[in-house]
């Protein structure tokens, strides 16, 4: 499988990685969730070249993850805002951050804390079943081929055994 062909794979993760699967794109998304909207601010915070940043932002706009919105007319100046599709990535980003807090933080602990606005408490993301609201781990899930599975005669790996 070639990196440039990920979007053609019969796998939602591969197709997702084709859009958001490089380090700069994930850091751009992180900054979006922290309130960064303008090109120069992304460039300053990330230390990324203008060329690389422009490419990452263009791809996120093309895929509907971000939208360019004018904040000034003369001269025209635009900023990048998360779309509903982009906002749907928040649980993914939050889960990656939580993993990093657990396994990559130093002895001082997490560099950023996430507080739930509803109760005011420091929170960690939890994956739950959409049907029964029970917490879900890797061992609680099995997969089966869906309507979008297009590899005849080959079953998704977990159908054959999973994480056990």
- Per-residue pLDDT, averaged over 50-65, amounts to 97
What is the structure's pLDDT at 15? 87
Tokens of 63: 């895929």
Establish whether the linkage from the previous residue to 92 is cis, with ω within 30° of 0.
Answer: no
Say whether 70 sits in a helix, a strand or coil. strand
| pLDDT digits 0-9 by tens, 65-91 | 999 999 999 999 999 999 999 999 999
Burial class (CB in 10 A: 0-12, 13-18, 19+), 60: buried
pLDDT number for residue 30: 96
Residue 2: per-residue pLDDT: 66
When pLDDT is cut at 50, 70 and 90, the band that residue 160 belongs to is very low
Cα dihedral value 72, 81, 60, 33, nearest 10: 140
Quickly state the pLDDT bin for 156 (edges 50, 70, 90): low
For residues 54 and 58, what is the distance between their CA atoms, to the nearest angstrom? 6
Of the pLDDT bands very low, low, confident and very high (cuts 50, 70, 90), residue 120 is very high
Q: Per-residue confidence at 93, pLDDT binned at 50, 70, 90?
A: very high
Q: Where are the domains of the chain?
A: 1-83, 89-140
Which pLDDT band holds residue 157 (cuts at 50, 70, 90)? low
| Residue found by looking up tokens 């099995």 in the block | 142
Considering only the top CATH level, what class is 1-83? Answer: mainly alpha
Closest CA to 127 of 143, 111, 138: 138
What integer pLDDT is reported at residue 11 of this predicted model?
78
Interval 49-73 mean pLDDT: 96
pLDDT band per the 50, 70, 90 thresholds, residue 147:
confident
Segment of 13-17, 20-24, 80-84 carrying the highest mean pLDDT: 80-84
């Amino acid at each position: 499988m070639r990196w440039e062909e990920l979007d053609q794979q019969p796998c939602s993760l591969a197709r997702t990685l084709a859009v958001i699967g490089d380090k700069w794109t994930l850091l751009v998304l992180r900054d979006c969730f922290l309130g960064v909207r303008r090109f120069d601010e992304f460039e300053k915070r990330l230390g990324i070249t203008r060329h690389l940043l422009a490419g990452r932002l263009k791809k996120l706009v093309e895929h509907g993850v971000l939208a360019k919105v004018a904040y000034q007319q003369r001269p025209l100046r635009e900023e990048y805002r998360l779309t509903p599709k982009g906002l749907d990535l928040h649980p993914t980003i939050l889960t990656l951050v939580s993993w990093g807090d657990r396994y990559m933080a130093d002895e001082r602990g997490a560099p950023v804390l996430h507080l739930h606005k509803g109760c005011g408490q420091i929170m960690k993301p939890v994956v739950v079943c959409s049907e029964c609201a029970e917490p879900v781990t890797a061992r609680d899930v099995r997969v089966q081929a869906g309507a979008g599975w297009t590899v005849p005669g080959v079953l998704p790996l977990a159908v054959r055994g999973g994480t056990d």
